[in-house]
Amino acid sequence: MGNELSKKEIGERIINLRLKKGFSQDDLAKSIGISRPSLTQIELGNRGISFSEMQKISVVLSFSLDDFVSKKFYNKQYLELPDEAEENISEERISVPTLNINKFKNILLYILERCSGKPNVGETVLYKLLYFSDFNYYELYEEHLTGANYKKLPYGPVPQKLDIIIDQMIELKQLEKIKTDYKGFPQKRFIPLEKADLTRLKASEKDVIDKVIDQMSDWSANAISDYSHKDLPWEVTEIGNDISYNLAFYRELPYSVRVYNEEEND
């Protein structure tokens, strides 16, 4: 198959057939025994597909392999996408997280414990450290870390309900908010007044957060904002909309944190 069609062409044709048959990525991945991120990479043309996997897909989606590789593939009547195809794509990319407030508070405290002494870590840098911690963890483990919703705003991804949570933490004397100047610009900073309860974090969660902190916590607000603007989940989302966690599976290097080629033999 790989000699007749490119990976990209194979991926596009699988998407076309999958949507025509009304399968979500998750449904199809489970049906053929591979992970959803692996199927995502196949559909993007970033991962090869074995003949046995292709056979399974042809059985599940009820198509002929001869038709699949044919130059007349897109002229086949049964491949015309229904009007609701775009809606299916949108629904597929929606991951509805549930905010775990206690975990969010502890992760916020932990990041501040490690970073609040750095003069560059104001509100903007903090938001981005939270965003990359959440989205990197989701890409790696297909589970939510804090469950926070992030909205695409002009200066980057912003966690929703953060102001409410911070106000609660200030009232409980867990945090202190201060206003300072940094390099001639006003800056809002947060100082932790108590330690994070690390028993609420799994080793894998702390590891992801630590890697984000080690990579980005010394960056300026402008540098980390510019970096976040090139991350695919933020880049493809409309301004003012929530950023879907499922878009993390579409990332490429240097943003992707998952080694997808290890899953080629799922």
218/8 Cα distance (integer angstroms)? 38
Q: What is the pTM of this model?
A: 0.69
pLDDT of amino acid 112: 95
Residues sharing a CB contact under 8 Å with residue 229, sequence separation 6 or more, in sequence order: 156, 235
> Is the model more confident about 147 or about 161?
147
Here the tokens at position 238 are 């409309």
Alpha helices (H) along the chain: 7-20, 25-32, 36-44, 51-61, 65-69, 85-92, 101-115, 123-141, 162-171, 203-216, 221-228, 232-235
- The per-residue pLDDT for 63 is 84
262 has pLDDT over 70: no
pLDDT tens, residue by residue, 23-54: 888 888 888 888 888 888 888 887 888 888 88
pLDDT at 246: 86
Q: What band does 62 get if pLDDT is binned at 50, 70 and 90?
A: confident
186 upstream amide cis, omega within 30 of 0: no
**Per-residue pLDDT tens for 85-134?**
444 444 444 456 788 888 999 999 999 999 988 999 998 999 999 999 99
Please give the Cα distance from 161 to 109 (Å, whole number): 16
- Looking at residue 2, its pLDDT comes to 43
Is residue 18 predicted with pLDDT exceeding 70? yes
In whole angstroms, give the CA distance from residue 41 to residue 107.
30
**How many other C-beta atoms lie within 10 A of the C-beta of residue 199?**
6
* 125 neighbors 190 (Cβ within 8 angstroms): no
